Chain A
Amino acid sequence: MTFKSSNSSSRIMSRPYIFRHLNKVRWVCLTLVFLMLVLIPLLGIYQHYVSASAYRNLDGSEKLLFDSMHALSSPFTMDPENDLDALKGTTWSGQLFGLKITDPLAIVGQMSAGLEVYWPFVLTGLIPILLTMFFGRFYCGWICPATFLYELNSNFALWLKKIGVYTGDRKFDRRIKYLILLLGIIASTITGTIIFASLYPPAVIGREIYFSIALSGFGGGTLFFMATLLFDIFVSKRGFCRYLCPGGALYSLLGRFRPIRIQRVVETCNDCEKCNAVCEFALNPMRDDFGQECNNCTACIAVCPQDALTFVVSLKDLDNQGPGYCSREYRSNSDERVNEK
């Protein structure tokens, strides 16, 4: 806690205790969303059993499913056959306790495929759009079920690297994903179908989990997702999210002028570069380069030894503030300045 002793600048204030642990909260959040994706199809099967009054005819494993889902849902509902209808869908589009919520990319895709604006559908995207305009690309870091698997995958890649397997870490232009968003919109318009539904990992994962649990088995989307995992390991770390994801592009554009941002407190920064190393999206927090791509994952806040990163309310990022005041570079420069005088 070095910054408490430094002289009073208005930007240096004691940071809420929770900031350092937001990354763990985020992981809890991601895990919960992923478990929900597994749970909802299971609850659906339970509903089928209930509506068919089929308990006596079930097999052992089916009885186990029935009993466990009954134990889970019975504290909340007396009438599972109808009440559980309020909890349906995936992160692509779903009902959360009766409230319909849709991914903005689905709305963009539908508008471009059908060349129409269907307002009841567009309004289901209102909550995510408003939240994105407020918090930026938070969906990518906090909710997306693909992020859950991609981050585990990048940990796996690190492990592979440790045992000597080649893993790629190539850098591409981050603007490729905006091009893909544009191309996807054009392709949707030409073909009249929503192309994004099969190119957008969270949508694919939600669908595949549902298919594998409640229907016949994994579909073709699994192959696509496996390909992106391999791309992330062998070509570019977190490459799909960084360079290719059309949803990430849309969220970045929506969250460009977000009021809640992460900022570096230059007075306490010591240029250790840990934040740059840990940033999943290859941004440059140490030199104030967050931009619209930051997904507020707070990994940099958690890793910073000087507590020099914090959330602020601001419509713009700061320009490069130069080396941190606690860094060796800054101190040697200031020594030179003193010597010149």
Chain B
Amino acid sequence: MVKAAFKVRHITQRYLRPPGALKEKDFIGRCIRCNQCAEICPNNCIKFFGSENGADSMGTPYITPREKACILCMKCGDVCPTGAIKPIKRELEPIVQYVEMGKARVDEQLCLSYQGKSCGVCYRACPLADTAIKVGYMEQPTVLDACVGCGLCERSCIQIPQAIKVIPNHLLASQLKATHLKERRSGDNDVQIIKFK
């Protein structure tokens, strides 16, 4: 039971860490649960885990992008005393380079623009528009590699359920691993891999 309590359950849960956070395991060892990131967040988007994500991530900060997304103000990195959230300058290049919250993924079945009704809300919400997301002639969004996963697109999506979702970084890694395993087992290279481009 003790082992189960400490078993990391972030494989299944979709949440984002604040921008500039270290990798999941390092982050849990660094974060001292001081709550300063949430106190300083001007958008009030950072919340804290209770015991629902395992005992090891109790009290650590997370963001649910559909409820309230990160506006990439980078204040939490400045205030974090331990460097669990790295201090990053609020400029385009460092943000694109160092912020790894996740990657947005468009569900073309749900997206209005792909269904012929031009919407483009996600493109307009994106703080890194044209760097992280671009749109076609009917404003169909395409997420580019520079996407940092702030979740503003998911927050603003007018579809229910949302047509654009941010896949957190820890989940990306596990998903990629799973698809690789699947490929190796089946020997089939045409297995649908998550598309970012």
Binding site for B on A (CB under 8 A): 40-41, 44, 47-48, 51, 81, 85, 88-90, 92-95, 100, 102, 106, 109-110, 113-116, 118, 120-121, 124, 191-194, 197-198, 203, 206-207, 210-211, 214-215, 219-220
Among the listed A85, A114, A211, A219, which residue makes an inter-chain contact with B26, where contact means beta carbons less than 8 Å apart?
A: A114
A90-B35, A94-B34, A220-B51 given as contacts; is B81 within 8 A of A207 (CB)?
no
**Is there a chain A Cβ closer than 8 Å to B32's Cβ?**
yes
A118 CA to B75 CA, complexed, in Å: 20
Binds A, one of B38-46, B101-109, B160-168, B178-186: B38-46
**Is there a chain A Cβ closer than 8 Å to B6's Cβ?**
yes
**Is there a chain A Cβ closer than 8 Å to B139's Cβ?**
no
Most A C-beta atoms less than 10 A away, residue of B6, B26, B34, B56 = B34
A109 CA to B34 CA, complexed, in Å: 13
Can you offer 5 A-B residue contacts whose CB atoms are under 8 A?
A85-B40, A88-B36, A89-B35, A102-B32, A198-B59
A90 CA to B39 CA, complexed, in Å: 10
* Count of residues in B whose CB is under 8 Å from the partner chain: 31
Smallest beta-carbon distance A123→chain B, Å: 10
- Evaluate contact between A214 and B39: CB separation under 8 angstroms: yes
Dominant secondary structure of chain A at its interface with chain B: helix
A114 CA to B22 CA, complexed, in Å: 12
Chain A residues with CB under 8 Å of B29's CB are 110, 113-116, 192-194
- Evaluate contact between B83 and A191: CB separation under 8 angstroms: no
- Evaluate contact between A106 and B32: CB separation under 8 angstroms: yes
Chain A residues with CB under 8 Å of B26's CB are 114
A211 CA to B47 CA, complexed, in Å: 10
- Evaluate contact between B28 and A48: CB separation under 8 angstroms: no
- Evaluate contact between A194 and B31: CB separation under 8 angstroms: yes
Smallest beta-carbon distance A152→chain B, Å: 24
A197-B59, A207-B59, A220-B51 given as contacts; is B39 within 8 A of A44 (CB)?
yes
